[in-house]
Amino acid sequence: MQIFKSLSKYERKLIKGLMRSFSNIMILWLINKKRMHGYEIMTALSNSNPYENKMPSSSKIYPVLHDLESNGLIKGSWEHQGKRKVKYYVMTDEGRNFILSFKKLSEHVKKDHANIWTEFQEYMGSV
């Protein structure tokens, strides 16, 4: 995106950090919608990122998937897809509970801090 390229190195770093901080929750949300394998997740995140034209690297996505799995939020299982083995991830009950808790927290923040969030969103929309 042209706007992203016109930003300073520090400004790009801030935006990338923001996107990165949401990626774990975005990955959980995607897997909550349907079972997915790593490449599907990378494609979905790539399509949703307006600041970069490239797909997130596997070196960024798979450690997140392994972390989410080791903490019991998702569960992976290997399946054959043609000649390849692909690991599909599904949400566990613990993962679903976390997503619901995060949703409630988001609603609480939106409700109780509506003035500052509304003002921020309106400002960002008018810039």
DSSP letters spanning 41-92? HHHHHHHH-TT-SSPPPHHHHHHHHHHHHHTTSEEEEEEEETTEEEEEEEE-
What kind of fold does domain 2-92 have according to CATH?
Arc Repressor Mutant, subunit A (1.10.10)
In this prediction, residue 109 carries a pLDDT of 72
Residue spans per domain, the chain: 2-92
Whole-prediction pTM: 0.74
Per-residue pLDDT of the chain (127 residues; tens, 9 = 90+): 566 677 788 877 877 777 677 788 889 999 999 999 999 999 988 877 655 556 678 888 999 999 999 999 999 999 999 999 999 999 999 999 999 998 888 787 777 766 776 777 778 776 5
